[in-house]
Chain A
């Protein structure tokens, strides 16, 4: 059989078998069901997809912040020794030094939940309960004047929070920047 005929025969065989993928692979990936990887599926999209059950308010978040976050991020998110979380709104344009904080710079509130849950507190990531993460996120948003101190953050309300800098973000891809 010529190589061309051989290839056609293989293609016909794959079509008969209903094999969807173009390349032949060892097929060693093990099928796994969602409940088996639930502990890994920690990302949260801007529409709220991935947000867990639970809820919290700024009032509930204040003591969590004081205990778990203030040592690095300062009292009330003022920063020092590590990143400042509060203030800077209105400093991004013009010649003044921009102050980039959660309040002034971050475009999506869902990112705050996602990041705190996956990476904070720095010494013990993934140690907070989901309600503690909602509460700390509420506290930081409240310090920035974005939500009220009794507003409840949960899977429904968090994606509806409009961040002050949201409309300044634009997506470059698939283009490039001059």
Chain B
């Protein structure tokens, strides 16, 4: 059994909770007297056309940052510490834009397939919406997520600030492969260029194999049309690949023999190694996990039984195992994985923990179906150096101090 209070993942199911309640009863304060609530003394508010969260949830918002002179360019981060389950609400999905969010009229938008094809084709949104659609739940993670974990000192930041460039939604749309067939791909084509209709005309090279495998022209996000910040009226979905390649506001696909080596796959989203070499076209986001509750800003409220909860994901398939440590990686206990566990989707994990009130270092470690195990910070830096910025998937440590404050630490 793992140390420092971690319990079996089936603890709650086994009736352990009852025993804990009995033990803990003496410590609980006397309950308050229940009175008539004001919201039961008059009828509530009318319906509204598009519902909003409770006004008491007003602090659950994305936090954004942008370079000077460029509002709308940069990123906003998902408040992972305030969410549960595996799906990110559309209004809280992280955003990354390179020249603001375009205000696209869907009737005027066009999607072009050309290059090494028999016949170039152009599609309206109305035409695309008549094609057979598929749905899949997939995470999208910015390749720059968590880069601060390469910094020399731990971050004075929340899980949102460190890991908030990952979100997960159900995406519905038209598979790309039959559209490519309709245009008739030349056998010489091995790559394609995908380009957005934003003011940066953001563009990325994508291997044709991935495009044929599981690429989707996504039109819907969690059941409604994709939000403007996430690519309205259509985006490319490349499940598991670095977020930047999931080109938003998709307007053009050009079939090519080789990659185009655009700005966003050379000067950005490539990995500078310690020896000065630069790794280009590392595409999948490797297996990763992070504990979202507790996490910095969510202080412990006194000794007792808690549920540690977090998210795990892999761009290479399904998560098969998440382990949790409360002693900085000396001992590990397997967490329960919440169904459904889907390939290239966020997976929620949970594990009961009896916190004694003492210090602890919480970590989680994910394994995916390829057998890949999330690396320690030391191992990842030893392999790649600390200057790569992108694809940081090392193990995060949360330090719990006596008294219950939670902070990011290196362990």
Which residue of chain A lies nearest to B256 when distances are taken between CB atoms in the complex?
A45
Contact count A vs B, C-beta below 8 Å: 174
Once bound together, how far apart are the Cα atoms of A4 and B384, in whole Å?
Answer: 53
B277: Cβ under 8 A from any A Cβ: yes
Residues of chain A with a CB closer than 8 A to B252's CB: 40-41
Tell me whether B181 and A29 are in contact (CB under 8 A).
Answer: no
A20: Cβ under 8 A from any B Cβ: yes
Tell me whether B99 and A43 are in contact (CB under 8 A).
Answer: no
In-complex Cβ contact of B122 among A21, A25, A29, A41 (8 A)? A29
Tell me whether A32 and B200 are in contact (CB under 8 A).
Answer: no
| CB proximity of A155 to chain B, nearest CB, Å | 16
Which residue of chain B lies nearest to A124 when distances are taken between CB atoms in the complex?
B199
* Contact code string B62-74 (vs A, CB < 8 Å = 1, else 0): 0000011110000
Given the known interface contacts A34-B114, A82-B69, the answer about A122 and B275 at a Cβ–Cβ threshold of 8 Å is: no
Tell me whether B114 and A115 are in contact (CB under 8 A).
Answer: no
* Contact code string A137-178 (vs B, CB < 8 Å = 1, else 0): 000000000000000000000000000010011111110111
Chain A CB within 10 A, most for which of B120, B121, B252: B120
Tell me whether A122 and B70 are in contact (CB under 8 A).
Answer: yes
In-complex Cβ contact of A178 among B113, B262, B383 (8 A)? B383
Tell me whether B391 and A177 are in contact (CB under 8 A).
Answer: yes
Tell me whether B121 and A29 are in contact (CB under 8 A).
Answer: yes
* Contact code string B92-128 (vs A, CB < 8 Å = 1, else 0): 0000001100000000000011100001111100011
Chain A CB within 10 A, most for which of B200, B271, B284: B200
Once bound together, how far apart are the Cα atoms of A174 and B256, in whole Å?
Answer: 17
Chain B CB within 10 A, most for which of A111, A122, A168, A173: A173
B317: Cβ under 8 A from any A Cβ: no
A contact face: mostly helix, strand, loop, or mixed: loop
B270: Cβ under 8 A from any A Cβ: yes
Residues of chain A with a CB closer than 8 A to B177's CB: 23
Tell me whether A125 and B200 are in contact (CB under 8 A).
Answer: yes
Once bound together, how far apart are the Cα atoms of A140 and B274, in whole Å?
Answer: 27
Residues of chain A with a CB closer than 8 A to B384's CB: 177-178
* A contacts with B, residue count (CB < 8 A): 55
| CB proximity of B66 to chain A, nearest CB, Å | 11
Tell me whether B181 and A21 are in contact (CB under 8 A).
Answer: yes
Once bound together, how far apart are the Cα atoms of A27 and B123, in whole Å?
Answer: 10
Residues of chain A with a CB closer than 8 A to B183's CB: 29
In-complex Cβ contact of A21 among B182, B266, B275 (8 A)? B182
* Contact code string B126-164 (vs A, CB < 8 Å = 1, else 0): 011011100000000000000000000000000000000
Residues of chain A with a CB closer than 8 A to B251's CB: 40
Tell me whether B178 and A29 are in contact (CB under 8 A).
Answer: no
Residues of chain A with a CB closer than 8 A to B331's CB: none
Residues of chain A with a CB closer than 8 A to B122's CB: 29-30, 32, 37
* Contact code string B254-284 (vs A, CB < 8 Å = 1, else 0): 1010111111001100111011111111111
A100: Cβ under 8 A from any B Cβ: yes
Which residue of chain A lies nearest to B372 when distances are taken between CB atoms in the complex?
A176
Which residue of chain B lies nearest to A120 when distances are taken between CB atoms in the complex?
B200
B207: Cβ under 8 A from any A Cβ: yes
| CB proximity of A142 to chain B, nearest CB, Å | 19
In-complex Cβ contact of A81 among B69, B121, B201, B258 (8 A)? B69
In-complex Cβ contact of B120 among A31, A81, A174 (8 A)? A31
Tell me whether B263 and A114 are in contact (CB under 8 A).
Answer: yes
| CB proximity of B387 to chain A, nearest CB, Å | 6
* Contact code string A78-110 (vs B, CB < 8 Å = 1, else 0): 000110000000001110001010100111101
Query: Would you list the 8 A-B pairs with minimal beta carbon distance, nearest first?
Result: A93-B276, A29-B121, A21-B181, A81-B68, A28-B127, A115-B263, A173-B281, A118-B201
Additional 17 contacts, C-beta under 8 A, given A29-B183, A81-B68: A20-B184, A21-B184, A22-B178, A25-B132, A28-B130, A29-B182, A30-B123, A31-B120, A32-B120, A40-B252, A43-B262, A45-B260, A92-B276, A93-B276, A105-B272, A176-B284, A178-B383
- Can you give 29 A-B contacts (C-beta < 8 A)? A20-B184, A25-B131, A25-B132, A28-B123, A28-B130, A29-B113, A29-B121, A29-B179, A30-B123, A30-B127, A31-B121, A32-B112, A40-B252, A41-B252, A45-B256, A46-B260, A81-B68, A92-B276, A102-B267, A106-B267, A108-B261, A114-B263, A118-B200, A122-B99, A169-B278, A169-B280, A177-B271, A177-B279, A177-B391
A residues with a Cβ closer than 8 A to B are 20-23, 25-34, 37, 40-46, 72, 81-82, 92-94, 98, 100, 102, 105-108, 110-111, 114-115, 118-119, 122, 125-126, 165, 168-174, 176-178
